[in-house]
Structure 1
Amino acid sequence: MTPYSLAFYMDAVTTGTLLGVGPADPPDRVTEALGSSFGEHSSDRGSMFRDYGLAEFFWERTSGSDPWKGHHVTIQVHRLAYRDPELVNAAVRARYGRFTYRLRFDKLRRLLERRGVPLVEIPEYSCNAPYFRTFLQPDSRVAVTVIGAHGEYSTPDNLRVGDVYNIQTSMTPEDEAARRAQTG
């Protein structure tokens, strides 16, 4: 993996942002940073997401007259295993260069720990265990989900145990507590 794509993932986990935009930013600000090449889906229930290929931004609002409020961002690392280089947004590619098709969790974790950025394992939802494992960066509240085991329908065939599945901002303390309570 190129050091540049590793830098992208390390920046995302450390800061909870992509190119300086994160889950709290409104749609217009995300468009300024990442450009206008995205797929958009909105529902009449007050939710919207924009798919930039590798990254998805999610917003919600209570009524059509309210501004969009950011909910979370998911970096869909597993999509790179399909070997489509166009999945990486042009602005991200311009800043970080070429991306490889897999991200090994051990490598990412080791590099983050060298920078003093720990990842702590938290319980996985029972329907996902043992196929997925989740690690939280306590300061940025970013969660890294890793392939833990292969199951017939649970994990993509093109990923290996130990590959990062996705990276998501921002896991709330309530989300973390709910996960811990289900296994407690």
Structure 2
Amino acid sequence: MTPYSLAFYVDVVTSGTVLGLGPAASPDRVTGVLGSNFGENTFRNSMCRDYGLAEFFWDRDSARHPWSGHHFTLQVHRLAHRDRTLVNETLRARYGRFTPRLRFEKLQRLLDRRGVPLLEIPEVAANAPYFRTFWQPDSHVAVSVMGTYGEYSTPDNLRVGDVYKIQAPMAAEEVEWRRARVG
């Protein structure tokens, strides 16, 4: 992993943003930073803009209401396809080359050195034991990691210990709900 792409992931987990774009960023703000090269899926009251690696999601009460930021996801597993167009030009210009896989142990080690802990939290039943989830309590970022091989855990030829996705926000209430389900 190049130091620059690792720096991107460290920045996201530490700040809870992608280039300063938080989960609540408006569609116009996201387009202003990441550009207009995206795929868009719009349903009645929800919208997703897919930039390849990064996806941003919004919802609204009705067509008369403005879009409200819901969350963003970094689909890190997609990089295993080795398609260079999956990394947005703005991200490439800032962070350089992204390699096909992100090893969780490397990410965690860099975060630990910066005093940014990742706490393992229980996985939802449908995903356990195939995935493991780690949460950063200050930024409310969740990191999903391949836990074991199985029916749902071999997409994109990932290895156990590879990061599958990074998502924000994961509220403290969801973390407590997950802990209560297994406790």
Aligned residues of 2:58 and 2:71 also touching (Cα < 8 A)? yes
Q: How far did residue 153 of structure 1 move?
A: 3.6
Aligned residues of 1:131 and 1:155 also touching (Cα < 8 A)? no
Aligned residues of 2:37 and 2:51 also touching (Cα < 8 A)? yes
Match of 1:14 in 2: 14
1:59-70 paired onto structure 2 within 5 Å: 59-70=58-69
Q: How far did residue 157 of structure 1 move?
A: 5.1
Match of 1:38 in 2: 38
Q: How far did residue 135 of structure 1 move?
A: 0.2
Normalised to the residue count of structure 1, the TM-score between the two structures is 0.97
Which blocks of at least 5 consecutive residues in structure 2 are unaligned? none
Match of 2:138 in 1: 139
Q: How far did residue 20 of structure 1 move?
A: 1.0
Distance in 2 separating the partners of 1:87 and 1:139: 28
Distance in 1 separating the partners of 2:153 and 2:116: 29
Distance in 2 separating the partners of 1:121 and 1:164: 14
Misfit runs of 4+, over 2 Å: 152-155
Amino acid at match of 2:57: F
Aligned residues of 1:53 and 1:89 also touching (Cα < 8 A)? yes
Match of 2:53 in 1: 54
Which blocks of at least 5 consecutive residues in structure 1 are unaligned? none
Normalised to the residue count of structure 2, the TM-score between the two structures is 0.98
1:135-174 paired onto structure 2 within 5 Å: 135-156=134-155, 158-174=157-173
Q: How far did residue 154 of structure 1 move?
A: 3.7
Distance in 1 separating the partners of 2:153 and 2:15: 30
CA RMSD of aligned residues (A): 0.9
Match of 1:105 in 2: 104
**SS of match in other structure, 1:71:** strand
Match of 1:23 in 2: 23
Match of 2:4 in 1: 4
Deviates more, 1:148-157 or 1:30-39: 148-157
Q: Matched residue pairs, number?
A: 183
Distance in 2 separating the partners of 1:107 and 1:144: 13
Identity of matched residues, %:
70
